[in-house]
Amino acid sequence: AAGVIQSPRHLIKEKRETATLKCYPIPRHDTVYWYQQGPGQDPQFLISFYEKMQSDKGSIPDRFSAQQFSDYHSELNMSSLELGDSALYFCASSWGREALSGELFFGEGSRLTVL
Amino acid sequence: SQQGEEDPQALSIQEGENATMNCSYKTSINNLQWYRQNSGRGLVHLILIRSNEREKHSGRLRVTLDTSKKSSSLLITASRAADTASYFCAPGGQGGKLIFGQGTELSVKP
């Protein structure tokens, strides 16, 4: 079965550079969630989208922005990168109705390293 | 959504033993989910128990939910080395996002 696809899987950037992560949800899933997991930390919710509109916002820095496109894929844009942005970034998807009480399907994550 | 608190933070057992981890939360929920995360990998959904259920089984997993105590437990029976992972509980309320705690790090030694 198709899973959540994230790209790139690994990314190395310098401080103050910009990075873009992409997420392709499971077909027919209309909701996307972004999480950030620092080394040894729990996954922190960043932001979510439902039907291409932002549905919830967590601890996402102002330097980060995200959107969901007409084909339901999502992109997380990170600017002015800092060393502390080094983390695993997970995308998860769900079907809108089930999002109220259903499971999230996670991708394998994109590992961002900021040097 | 609210964050669950897993206990213990770390658990080390021998293969074949049972592993029990607990989760507590603060406010009423619609359901509670358990996820597993292998090191450096994505989270994998294990089981969902609804607020009107008291116990649920899935293979070697048994989950209980006590809404009066606002707590849940995950039991893994006959553990295997492959069960070594971090386990997170996620109380579900209104809205789809899940908030994860620090998890229980389970180590199963061969």
A51 close to B (CB below 8 A): no
A38 close to B (CB below 8 A): no
Average pLDDT over every residue of B23-40: 92
The yes-or-no verdict on residue B93 having pLDDT over 80 is no
Both tokens assigned to A12: 């190395």
Report CB contact under 8 Å: B96, A88.
no
Average pLDDT over every residue of B20-36: 93
Give CA–CA dist A92/A107, Å, rounded.
6
Tokens 């009066």 found at: B68
Q: Hey, what amino acid is at B51?
A: S
pLDDT tens figures, B55-77: 999 999 999 999 999 999 999 99
What does the pLDDT read at residue B94? Answer: 60
CB B63 within 8 A of CB B34: yes
Task: State the average pLDDT for chain A.
Answer: 92
- Which of A42, A50, A103 is opposite residue B100, by nearest beta carbon? A42
